[in-house]
Amino acid sequence: MKITRKDVEYIAHLARLEVDDLLVDKFADQIGSILEYIDKLKDADVSGAQLMSGAALQSNVFREDKVLPSPGPGVTLADAPEREDDFYTVPRVVG
């Protein structure tokens, strides 16, 4: 799959990342290579494989809950792009 500069810039915008112009082409090539590799999975022979669902639930992975003190809004909101007092602020999506 061919990834363009515009695709990388759009993905970076969605992720709120600043990407140096010198790296955009490099990232486009790398992401394209990764997607091409993943696309090869369509050609994998899985004729002998048994279908499964809920594989994560086949063994008990539960653990005891531990009550820990909250680190507080200063820590939890430290990387928030926008905040108001102790809350995240996000763009309105419903009119």
Q: Is residue 27 part of a domain?
A: yes
Tell me the average pLDDT of the chain. Answer: 88
Amino acid at position 23, single letter: L
Number of alpha carbons in the 13 Å side-chain half-sphere of residue 32: 14
pTM, two decimals, is: 0.49
Q: Say how many domains are in the chain.
A: 1
Map residue 88 onto helix, strand or coil.
strand
Q: Is residue 76 part of a domain?
A: no
Q: Is residue 67 part of a domain?
A: no
Overall average pLDDT of the 20-49 stretch = 91
Expressed as residue numbers, the domain containing 26 is: 1-43
